[in-house]
Amino acid sequence: MIETLVSSDARQLLYQLAAALEQELRCQPKGSGLRLIESAHDNGLRMTARLRDFQVKDLLSLTQFFGFRTETFSLAVNFLDRFLSKMKVQPKHLGCVGLSCFYLAVKATEEERNVPLATDLIRISQYRFTVSDMMRMEKIVLEKLSWKVKATTAFQFLQLYHSLIHENLSCERSTVKGEDQPETCSQTDEDMRNILIMKNLTHGKNI
């Protein structure tokens, strides 16, 4: 979690953002795989964007039911999209895939004492597969994700951007009051823009 920072720590916050951008490139879903899902017709045999969205809603419901953090939900969706973009998943197996991604995210982000038993998770989700089925699916998911479970998520970027905005506003208030500003304050806007340009370029966009 990113704590509220004082002006002197703005530079460190920008370093965190740059590191997150670098990590994001290694933990993104395959674009070609996602496009196949988006263009697929719903015939009951192929994965579609609509089925994926339904599964994401189920993950959100589970997150809210257990009172887990937004970071957990965001990471579970990252795992799900990365897996679906690499593997041809039949709709009948989507529930097992989704719950396995969710359980991996829970174990990666939540305190151990808050991690539910697999049996309870399956029961609450009202799925009919077994714990053994889910454990096997977990292993498959981890292998396809190359065991990279420290992914940068959209929620983490929102946290970083929010903290940067808060930091910039603090600098502006200091300017209005005529207080001395650390060097970081005067450079925050320019550094922020440079990082945003880098992020947009990695996604083929222009500012």
- Alpha-carbon span 175 to 164, nearest angstrom: 17
Q: What is the mean pLDDT of residues 150-177?
A: 70
Is residue 117 scored above 80 in pLDDT?
Answer: yes
Q: What is the mean pLDDT of residues 97-103?
A: 98
Q: What is the mean pLDDT of residues 40-50?
A: 83
Is residue 199 scored above 90 in pLDDT?
Answer: no
Most confident of 6-20, 88-102, 180-194: 88-102
For residues 109 and 192, which has the higher predicted lDDT (pLDDT)?
109
Whole-model pTM above 0.85? Answer: no
Is residue 21 scored above 80 in pLDDT?
Answer: no
* pLDDT band for position 75 (cuts 50, 70, 90): very high
CATH topology of domain 28-144: Cyclin A; domain 1 (1.10.472)
> Quick one: how far is CA 43 from the chain centroid?
29
Q: What local confidence, expressed as pLDDT, does residue 29 receive?
A: 77
Q: What local confidence, expressed as pLDDT, does residue 19 receive?
A: 67
Q: Where in the chain is the domain with CATH 1.10.472.10?
A: 28-144
